[in-house]
Structure 1
């Protein structure tokens, strides 16, 4: 786990770890709102929804329910990796708890920190004992089992801030979740030194929203894997979030696509709360169509651009006749379910224009009537010479 932010000099609050779960305690809360929250500004979307009635499954290293940001937010889940009695609510690494805080951290703790969807709930599913890379051949099968189990627990979004190798069972599990109407968001993957960009799974599977990382300036984080399967981007550097061992906060200066995926999962939760009828394909379409596009519209580093929660909820996605190359999803993409609002707006504008013209035409008639005091006028008679 990365070192704490150097600027946090106040002694940390006493750790209150979950029973038999000695997770990292962390330090004090950040003194100001983290840059990622300032950049995405999720509060601008909360007038529409805060993520009510949505549950996000976090398939990760577990999620601790003890931190103030997550009290009352974490359901009983399941552990697929050695601690079944903890029901996924033990996080020895701290990774899953940060991810959960980014997605659904409360906004009423007094700290300048919240999740993207603070009214959403978290289903914790533990498949990772730590954050170390592993070649365990059983991991893809564990993740597949976790995806299937989570899908059957009435969740609307699954967050996968992890990567593994391709496996037929993992692909089938993703298809199962998508077929049940669950939005699947995954990290695009992080490069190691001297490593070439290789597809990361489950992010590279069709239908999964693959998320890359950006820095404070909106540029591509160098460690974030690039590829044509990348759909969208979100903050992935200089990350801070809740620690599992009490009331403290942990810092991740190196960041990673794990945390970028969490920001997009929070935005997906907002969309599902506002429009529960949308399919996973429609949610992905709305997220990518409303992202802050790169100049060329789409590229392998950022996908369609940086997620924009407010625009994702409020934009009226009409038809553009001259989109920049790559800016729009390919032909055949799902029709936007909120497009009808644009049609209604056009009809209302047209009716208003007709009414305005009628009022202008009636103005001279009204003036003439007033001069005559509304008495009928006489028709001029012609006289023959």
Structure 2
């Protein structure tokens, strides 16, 4: 059976008819019947499209309580880092994303809206998780609130497709993202394994761009199998966990899974207004977004690290399972504070440049130590001689011996 595309964050396939995406519900994410009108070249207005959502959450979403990204913000908030979100678009109008979303691009024959029209709502949630602003009055923020989003739209909606042209279009979007300043690329999607897609991922990594992808979601009665692009070498593949830290049942397992992050009961900005959308069934799409946010924190705090070193830092600082690594959560749940603040390396195997060269073993003052040892030895010998001579002198004086006088015959017989 041929593989089919499915965004990494739509959860298991849902049954039912067509219609609008449910807000705070479990209905399938489908293309809304909203008309999309391309703005005139003279218009600078950002299009408003997609579901409006509902009121802001009263409580801080559990992923933020679990990951506590604010603990890392004294060191890094992601400033200066651009994260490309190759998805269904990212709204630039939501308060959490206003000023955070750069001018992007639409691929796959979609109307040119600079990547900022998101009819599905999927990409906007992902973008908000990565770089949503703090201090907007809502108890929601992104992981890296000073990072910027480069929106790249390749998906009109979140329906499954077997479009043979999609992997090539995603590959083109990856290359465009690299050439337009992306430091991190988030791929919350799964598509067909094709050479041009693999080549585009390798190109991004070779250009120093960190690539994060969803490990994929199981469909009904589906066996675990590698998901692409997550399974390509060098890509950080992310699985989902629930509020108790357990593996989400819909999250694909495999040896290629590197890390895990919250992937159930997810909430994020809605593209069509100031409200929020909930994804009760979650998915690895959103788990990947959390890891992309932490990667942005690391890139801002440690700009000299290459993609392999960023991945190594995320892996080595994760909250690992008891056995260290498994097929369900990889090396464990990503930890923002430790990823940014931990000093890695050991005395026996430090990372290049992390520690100064060991000092010379030659002691320039060694000769002084040798002289001191000999002086002490001679002093001790002299002291011993003096102590041994003193009794002889005392006995000689008692017998009338004085220095410089020969003993007489009388002296010799006096007894």
Q: TM-score, normalised by structure 2?
A: 0.75
Q: Does 1:131 align with 2:158?
A: yes
Distance 1:172 1:32 in 2: 43
User: Are the counterparts in 2 of residues 282 and 336 from structure 1 also a CA contact under 8 Å?
Assistant: no
Equivalents in 1 of 2:136, 2:109: separation in Å?
32
Q: Does 1:36 align with 2:63?
A: yes
- In the alignment, the residues of structure 2 paired with residue 320 and residue 131 of structure 1 have an alpha-carbon distance, to the nearest angstrom, of 49
Alignment partner, residue 4 of structure 1: 24
Distance across 2 between alignment mates of 1:305 and 1:108: 30
Q: CA offsets per residue over residues 112-146 of structure 1, 9 Å max, x none?
A: 11000000000000001111111111110110000
1: distance between equivalents of 2:49 and 2:344? Answer: 48
Q: Secondary structure at the match of 2:151?
A: strand
Q: Given the alignment, which residue of 318, 332, 346 partners 1:305? A: 332
Cα pair distance change 1:5/1:42, threshold 3 Å: farther
Tell me the equivalent position of 2:177.
Answer: 150
Match of 1:182 in 2: 209
Query: Structure 1 stretch 18-27 or stretch 42-51: which is displaced more?
Result: 18-27
Q: Provide the C-alpha distance between the structure 2 equivalents of 1:122 and 1:75, rounded to a whole number of angstroms.
A: 6
> How many residue pairs align between the two structures?
327
Cα distance change of structure 1 residues 269 and 19 upon mapping to structure 2, 3 Å threshold: closer
CA distance in structure 1 between the aligned counterparts of 2:69 and 2:321, rounded to whole angstroms: 21
Q: Report deviation, 1:314.
A: 1.1
- Between the aligned partners of 1:57 and 1:338, the Cα distance in structure 2 is 30
The CA deviation at 1:22 is 2.7
Q: Matches of 2:293 and 2:76 in 1, distance apart?
A: 12
The CA deviation at 1:229 is 0.3
Match of 1:236 in 2: 263
Gapped regions of structure 2 (runs ≥ 5): 1-20, 27-36, 38-44, 360-389, 395-415
Question: Which residue is 1:216 aligned to?
Answer: 243
| Deviation larger for 75-84 or 184-193 | 75-84
Aligned residue in 1 for 2:387: none
Is 1:85 matched up with 2:112? yes
3-state secondary structure, aligned to 2:277: strand
Superposition RMSD on alpha carbons, in Å? Answer: 2.3
- 2:365 is matched with none
**1:59 & 1:2 partners in 2: Cα distance?**
23
**For the residues of structure 2 that align with 1:5 and 1:111, how far apart are their CA atoms?**
20
For the pair 1:314 / 2:334, whether they are aligned, the reply is: no
| Structure 1: unaligned runs, 5 residues or longer | 7-16, 322-333, 348-381
Tell me the alpha carbon deviations over residues 61-93 of structure 1, each in whole angstroms, 9 at most, x when there is no partner. 000100000000000000003334311000000
The answer to whether 1:119 aligns with 2:141 is no
- Structure 2 CA distance for partners of 1:207 and 1:231, relative to 1, 3 Å: same
Residues 128, 268 of structure 2: 8 Å contact kept: yes
Compare 19-28 and 238-247 and name the one that shifted more. Answer: 19-28
CA contact (8 A) 1:69 1:106 kept: yes
Match for residue 362 of structure 1? none
Matches within 5 A, 1:160-309: 160-309=187-336
State the partner residue of 2:382.
none
Structure 1 runs of 4+ off > 4 angstroms? Answer: 17-21
Aligned residue for 1:205, secondary structure, equals: coil
The TM-score, its normalising length taken from structure 1, stands at 0.81
Following superposition, the deviation at residue 319 of structure 1 comes to 3.9
Contact 1:317 1:338 in 2 (8 A): no
Match of 2:130 among 81, 93, 103: 103
